[in-house]
Copies of this chain bind each other. A is one copy, B any other.
Amino acid sequence: MTVKQLSLPQLVEQCARLGVPGIGLWREPVQAYGLEATAKLVRDAGLTVTTLCRGGFFTTASSLDDNRAAIDEAAALGTDTLVLVSGGLAPGSRDLAAARARITEAIAELAPYAGERDVRLAIEPLHPMYASDRCAVSTLDQALEIAGHFPAEQVGVTVDTYHIWWDDRAPAAVARAGAAGRIHTFQLADWTTPLPAGVLNGRGQLGDGVIDLRGWCDLVDEAGYTGPIEVELFNDELWRREGAEVLEETLARYLAV
């Protein structure tokens, strides 16, 4: 998503050239290019798919069938992790607790199905500014509480600095998540202001904002996480630039962190 202006073949070619060993993919471009074709493209380049994004939206539009399809797609791509953006309030509802209960029920339906396919669901807490319309799971504590109902090899969490950096309880939650084997992916993005209208596409390039990214990397390290680190930026300005250039810049910023 960070360089969505690149086609999948361009992305794979540039990652291979730069020595980026894995890529996180989103369902829509994979479906457009073809599931098996994407799997082959990535595999032939010697890369791995780190995660597939995304399942979820349990409180609104998305069906469990569509989430099962997402799990199947993850398995076909050879990634062990499907990121879940769980959904916000149900239409007409003002009850966040009810939304989280519905999310837990939906995950209970999906977790065994995922486990049978060696895919782990990674509940992503989203920043509280998305609580109403995208994700009623706003903190790592809440995500871990839900994940705790299921085996760690079926359900864990996504740790994304953009969403949790403000939370003084998140460092302890990272440690608990790591001890429980529930950090299923770790994502970096920086926090910059002013936020754009709609607050979706203002994630900062690493180093442009105020998040202590190195500090979060250390916390995740100390929690025992050894998996891939993804950089996920939704940023209109980055998307307007040449994709290969943004990819190179992002890699340099990542290495600087």
A binding-site residues for B, Cβ under 8 Å: 89, 93-97, 127-129, 131-133, 138-139, 142, 165-168, 191, 193-199, 209-212, 215
Majority DSSP secondary structure for residues of A touching B: loop
Complex CA–CA separation, A98 to B22 (angstroms): 36
Cβ of A134 to closest chain B Cβ, rounded Å: 9
The answer for the CA separation of A167 and B125 in the assembled complex, in Å, is 13
Q: Is the CB of A212 within 8 A of B95?
A: yes
Q: Which of A139, A195, A196, A198 has the most CB atoms of chain B within a 10 A radius of its CB? A: A195
Q: With a CB–CB cut-off of 8 A, which chain B residues contact A133?
A: 193-194
Interface contacts beyond A94-B215, A127-B129: sample of 11 additional A-B pairs, CB < 8 Å, sorted by A: A89-B210, A94-B210, A128-B128, A128-B167, A129-B195, A131-B165, A132-B166, A132-B191, A133-B194, A195-B198, A196-B197
* Chain B neighbourhood of A215, CB < 8 A: 94
For the complex, give the distance between the alpha carbons of A127 and B127 in Å. 10
How distant is the Cα of A129 from the Cα of B200 in the complex, in angstroms? 12
A129 contacts B129, C-beta separation under 8 Å: yes
CA distance A168 to B166 in the complex (A): 16
Closest CB of chain B to A68's CB: distance in Å? 29
Query: What residues on B are CB-neighbors of A128 within 8 Å?
Result: 127-129, 166-167
Contacts A127-B129, A199-B129; A168 near B210 (Cβ below 8 A): no
State the Cβ distance, A197 to closest chain B Cβ, in Å: 4
A194 CA to B129 CA, complexed, in Å? 10
Report B-chain residues with C-beta under 8 Å of the C-beta of A138.
166-167
Are A194's CB and B191's CB within 8 A? no
Q: Which B residues touch A94, using CB under 8 A?
A: 210-212, 215
Indicate if the CB atoms of B129 and A96 lie closer than 8 Å. Answer: no
Could you show 9 A-B contacts with beta carbons less than 8 Å apart? A94-B215, A128-B129, A128-B167, A132-B191, A132-B210, A142-B168, A195-B197, A195-B198, A197-B197
